[in-house]
Amino acid sequence: MNLPTSESELEALGIDPARVPRHIAIIMDGNGRWAKARNLPRALGHRQGVLALKPIVKATVSLGVQVLTVYAFSTENWIRPQAEVDALMDLLMEFLRKETQELKDQGVSIRAIGDVSALPKRAQEALNEAMETTSDQCRMILNLALNYGGRDELVRAVNRWLASVSMEGRWPPGEISEADLAKHLDTRGLPDPDLLIRSSGEERISNFMLWQIAYTEIYVTRTLWPDFTPTTLLEAISDFQRRTRRFGAAE
């Protein structure tokens, strides 16, 4: 579809251009089920999932979203068959190789969250090159969650904080505050997600951004990720804008 970008076109769909989420996070789920339903190998489902991401990135850029975070590979995904893990790493490198220049042309800066040091060396090199190539762009940040787990991030954040206070000679360190911890998260400096979208109908968080989504609005669609389109995205944003965000305040 041609994504509506003018204020009048968006308003016709019930979307207020001034209230588009600053930060959208997506759990891209359903690649395997999409492939199974078509009697295809899981690897082809993952490949179709990568293809589905491209128009979503373009749509979020057009809508003025500041940050798009996508759950690409979790800390738990290592337990999948080695052939599937290898295929996912190959798809990551292919995506970075093919799409980095176009993302740069769109004004997108590629970043990563998660313990990327555990990725295969070739994947780390491709990721570092893509981040360096797009580092001067500021229209939107594309955050790739790679070898990411919310609990793992919190543990690493606490360890970073402990290392920092030790280096500063503040030992014993005393109590850690929310601000202290936030400064050592993978997402430090970024706004928390306003909207979390999960495809495929599963109603769970799956260890994703546990700290950051404390007051995030959650939208679940039964659409499998390879079938997720900009239209699905607009439906999620429209639903988001119909909600009242109170952040713990009274109605």
Quote the pLDDT of residue 2.
Answer: 58
* Residues catalogued as catalytic: 29, 77
pTM comes to 0.93
Quote the pLDDT of residue 168.
Answer: 79
Note down pLDDT in tens along the chain; length 251 residues.
556 556 777 877 778 989 999 999 999 999 999 999 999 999 999 999 999 999 999 999 999 999 999 999 999 999 999 999 999 999 999 999 999 999 999 999 999 999 999 999 999 999 999 999 999 999 999 999 999 999 999 999 999 999 998 887 777 778 889 999 999 999 999 999 999 999 999 999 999 999 999 999 999 999 999 999 999 999 999 999 999 877 776 56
CB burial of 60-85 (b: ≥16 within 10 Å; e: otherwise) equals bbebebbbbbbbbbbbebeeeeeeee
Among 3.40.50.2300, 3.40.109.10, 3.30.70.1170, 3.40.1180.10, what is the CATH number of 22-149+193-241? 3.40.1180.10
Can you state the percent helix, strand and coil of the chain, rounding each to 5? Answer: 50, 15, 35
Quote the pLDDT of residue 10.
Answer: 80
Quote the pLDDT of residue 246.
Answer: 75
- Cα–Cα distances in Å, from 68 out to 35, 106, 112, 177, 219? 25, 14, 11, 27, 15
**Length of the chain in residues, anyone?**
251
Q: Which amino acid is at 199?
A: S
Cα atoms in the 13 Å half-sphere on the side-chain side of 49: 29
